[in-house]
Amino acid sequence: MGVIGYGLGVIGAGLAIGLAAFGATSAMARQPEVQGRAFTVFILASAFTEALGLIGFVVTLIA
């Protein structure tokens, strides 16, 4: 049962990173002058989302 939960967590993390990449790319395409700031926010959002996916993996191993 934990494997199913981890799989759903990874799907959620993947979708979140994809949406963040889409938003950052759209922002950079519309306003190239904010490229540095948008990229920084994207990297931070990706790191936090990936951390949540890893926490789900650890919880699955513990349970």
Query: What is the domain-level CATH number for residue 11?
Result: 1.20.20.10
Contact 49, 13 (CB under 8 A): yes
Side-chain half-sphere exposure of 41, counting CA atoms within 13 A: 14
Total of domains in the chain: 1
Tens-binned pLDDT, residue by residue, of the chain (63 aa) = 667 777 777 888 888 888 989 999 999 999 999 999 989 989 998 888 888 888 877 877 787
Burial class (CB in 10 A: 0-12, 13-18, 19+), 13: buried
